[in-house]
Amino acid sequence: NAGVMQNPRHLVRRRGQEARLRCSPMKGHSHVYWYRQLPEEGLKFMVYLQKENIIDESGMPKERFSAEFPKEGPSILRIQQVVRGDSAAYFCASSPPEAQETQYFGPGTRLLVL
């Protein structure tokens, strides 16, 4: 059973460009979470999604950030008009229906904004 998959692993963008980060949960997992890790810090929750639904987006910045988890395909975290402060590692996690409290993390996408 493959783990949580994220791509790309590294992403470089110039200020003002858009960044799209993808996450495929573990097989059978229907819950996806996105976290951001700034340098030398712990992870900060951003958003929790189920298929076609955003359940909790209390950690998402109010502007430029959006997330989706369509019926088919991976979850996408989208950052529009990136700024240098968006440089961070973005981690996706997933959990199974029978153990929703336990989250399994992907390898992360390291975003660098020039």
Partner 1 sequence: AQSVTQPDIHITVSEGASLELRCNYSYGATPYLFWYVQSPGQGLQLLLKYFSGDTLVQGIKGFEAEFKRSQSSFNLRKPSVHWSDAAEYFCAVGVPGRRALTFGSGTRLQVQP
Q: What is the binding site for partner 1 (CB under 8 A)?
A: 4, 6, 31, 33, 35, 41-45, 48, 55-56, 58-59, 91, 93, 95, 100-108, 110
Q: What is the C-alpha separation between 33 and 55, in angstroms, rounded?
A: 10
Phi, psi of 85 (to 5 degrees): -65, -10
**Which residue, 15 or 51, has its beta carbon nearer to partner 1?**
51
Burial class from Cβ neighbours inside 10 Å (0-12, 13-18, 19+) for residue 101 reads exposed
- In the complex, least distance from residue 37 CB atom to partner 1, rounded to whole angstroms: 9
- In the complex, least distance from residue 45 CB atom to partner 1, rounded to whole angstroms: 4
- In the complex, least distance from residue 86 CB atom to partner 1, rounded to whole angstroms: 19
Q: Which residue has the tokens 């399994």?
A: 104
> Which residues sit opposite 12 in a β-bridge?
112
**Which residue, 14 or 98, has its beta carbon nearer to partner 1?**
98
